[in-house]
Structure 1
Amino acid sequence: MELAKLITEKRNDNTMTLDQMSTMEMLNVINQEDKKVAGAVKNVLPKVNDAIEHIYKALNQGGRLFYVGAGTSGRLGVLDASECPPTFMTSDDMVQTIMAGGNGAFFHAVEGSEDDETQGVQDIKTKNLNYKDVVIGITASGRTPYPIGALKYAREIGAYTVSLSCNEHSLISEFADTEIEVIVGPEVLTGSTRMKAATAHKMILNMISTTTMVKLGKVYENLMVDVHASNYKLMQRAKRIIMEITGADYEEADRVLALTDNQVKPAIVMIKGGVTYQEAEEAIEQSNGYVRDAIAIVMNSNV
């Protein structure tokens, strides 16, 4: 009965005849419902902003970001965290996901794992959590015991806590310093929160990781200057970024990138400032990793 009161479990008046609709009718109604997601996310942007400011401060001071969830919520965390090293050259431990049922639950549902609050505590303890870290508990219903347990423990030791749910006055919000309750309404398929709820949460996680990394200096203009050029596609992207920012041709970008062990930031500073790799690295260190400031340092030193 408690679950039945949640908006994520209610029936959608627009899809009461879902089983009688044609394929195109179903596609249209899903599309119409999906259009509501961006508006719901817009409504919680102030809360997302608050979370990001704290996450930025934490990571800038050596803290870590943890996503905690079960089922779809945990998988969304894995998707976001796993993209940070190749996109922003973060360390593997800067952004992590703790998922109910362990890593194997990403591929195969581990029934019942989400119902154990104590396990949420035990799993996050294995990460040696400390007061510098930030923990985001993700649960569409807002009542899943596993992430609630993790948030309770995080709060006890002084880590900053964020809740991400899709119901008002969610239980998990009680244990969060910043509560994000994005209300997308009943699902097309009743209770299937892998749909609108998951889409809203994916959008917010995209915002959190991308905006935080921009603030940490891992982006110049709108280019990923900390991209990890670990395969052919990313190597070509790295060279295009260098060419775009510096005006160098492909051969020059290729040559200088090789001198930097495929690091885009020093390659940009070397070309823009006409300096050596060592000088570029020193300027980047002085600027705390911000390419724009590093360029200014070497340009001013050449005056």
Structure 2
Amino acid sequence: MADRPTEALHPMAEGLHLAPPEQVLSRALAAQQAALAAVGPALPQLAAAARIAAQTLRAGGKLAYAGAGSSGLMALADCLEMLGTFGIPAERTPMLFAGGAEALLKMTGGVEDDPALAAADLARADLGVGDVLIAVSASGTTPYTLAVAAGAAKAGAKVVGIANVPGSPLLQAADVPVLLETGAEIVAGSTRLGAATAQKVAMNLVSVLVGVELGHVHDGMMVNLVADNAKLRDRAARIVARVAGVDTGIARVALNRTRGAVKPAVLVARGASPESAGARLAAAGGILAKAMKS
């Protein structure tokens, strides 16, 4: 473990305990910024991961996420947003988190070493051919995450592995290996810092590209959101109004006619019936821009 880059001492860490508060923060921020730079070299792999994920979801498969500890939390944040931002049903994006919901309230290290938990979580997720798993581990050696990745691959699912240590087992086992070489942490071994920052940004990029590929992003707006609260209903109305070129009153009427679905509401606001809007979107593969041209 001492040989892992994430366990090494950071060059800016010497004397950190003696430094004034502003300098501690300045060094910690610089370390975070340096870690973020590690995402750039991984863009081709992230694009490949997004293409596989989008193809999987378009074909009706599942996009699963897996991880433990801080890496699992980063994966969970992205997993939850697939519904919140892009309207993809939660059952299509299962989360496999070491220790389950209880571990979210009180982080316990032992669960990440238990392959039996991985087997149980895999059984519940029911992954197989036509599915894809994004597995995240800073060290690339977390037993839980490796067991999930191995089980998913055995079942026929594709595996995207995201790790921060070169040559780690997770990267070796993945169909799409994504290395985020963030190196030493300002607090040695605390991968909730630089490693997790790079992981979160990397998954942000993947999910944004997935949303674009699926037609759920139009001019930077989330046109497949599920408007289930006042804030999102207001956002949906503003999106429909802007894309359709109408006022928000007409947009709200259109949304009522489509039961809150943004894409068909845009077409309804432009004069289509809800039935025609649905047919045009289906013919366009869910791409709003294509449906609008038709």
Taking structure 2 as the reference length, what is the TM-score of the superposition?
0.97
Counterpart pick for 1:73 among 71, 74, 83: 71
Counterpart pick for 1:147 among 122, 145, 148: 145
Q: How is 1:263-274 mapped onto 2 (pairs within 5 angstroms)? A: 263-272=261-270, 274=271
* 1:286 corresponding residue in structure 2: 283
Instruction: Tell me, in whole angstroms, the C-alpha distance in 1 between the residues paired with 2:204 and 2:117.
Output: 27
Q: Give how far 1:119 is off.
A: 2.6
Matching of residue 191 in structure 1 with residue 209 in structure 2: no
Conserved? CA contact 2:62–2:131, under 8 Å: yes
Instruction: Tell me, in whole angstroms, the C-alpha distance in 2 between the residues paired with 1:271 and 1:184.
Output: 48
Instruction: Tell me, in whole angstroms, the C-alpha distance in 2 between the residues paired with 1:120 and 1:91.
Output: 23
* 2:29 corresponding residue in structure 1: 31
Conserved? CA contact 2:216–2:224, under 8 Å: yes
Q: Structure 1 regions of 5+ residues with no counterpart?
A: 298-303
- Read off the aligned partner of 2:288 and give its amino acid letter: V
Q: Secondary structure at the match of 1:137?
A: strand
Counterpart pick for 1:13 among 11, 14, 22: 11
Runs of 4+ in 1 over 4 A off after TM superposition: none
| Residue range with higher mean Cα deviation, 189-198 or 134-143 | 134-143
Taking structure 1 as the reference length, what is the TM-score of the superposition?
0.94
* 1:82 corresponding residue in structure 2: 80
Q: Give how far 1:248 is off.
A: 0.8
Q: Secondary structure at the match of 1:135?
A: strand
Name the Cα RMSD after superposition.
1.2
- Read off the aligned partner of 1:279 and give its amino acid letter: S
Instruction: Tell me, in whole angstroms, the C-alpha distance in 2 between the residues paired with 1:81 and 1:104.
Output: 18
Q: How many residues align?
A: 294
- State the identity as a percent: 31
* 1:300 corresponding residue in structure 2: none
* 2:272 corresponding residue in structure 1: 275
Q: Give how far 1:147 is off.
A: 0.6
Q: Give how far 1:148 is off.
A: 0.3
Instruction: Tell me, in whole angstroms, the C-alpha distance in 1 between the residues paired with 2:115 and 2:171.
Output: 15
Q: Secondary structure at the match of 1:180?
A: strand
1:224-259 CA-partner distances (Å, limit 9, x unpaired): 111111111101111111111122112111222111
Conserved? CA contact 2:47–2:209, under 8 Å: no
Instruction: Tell me, in whole angstroms, the C-alpha distance in 2 between the residues paired with 1:135 and 1:254.
Output: 38
Task: Considering Cα pairs closer than 8 Å and 6+ residues apart, tell me whether 1 or 2 has the greater RCO.
Answer: 2
Q: How is 1:249-264 mapped onto 2 (pairs within 5 angstroms)? A: 249-264=247-262
- Read off the aligned partner of 2:153 and give its amino acid letter: R
Counterpart pick for 1:63 among 48, 61, 78: 61
Q: Structure 2 regions of 5+ residues with no counterpart?
A: none
Counterpart pick for 2:167 among 169, 179, 203: 169
Q: How is 1:195-210 mapped onto 2 (pairs within 5 angstroms)? A: 195-210=193-208
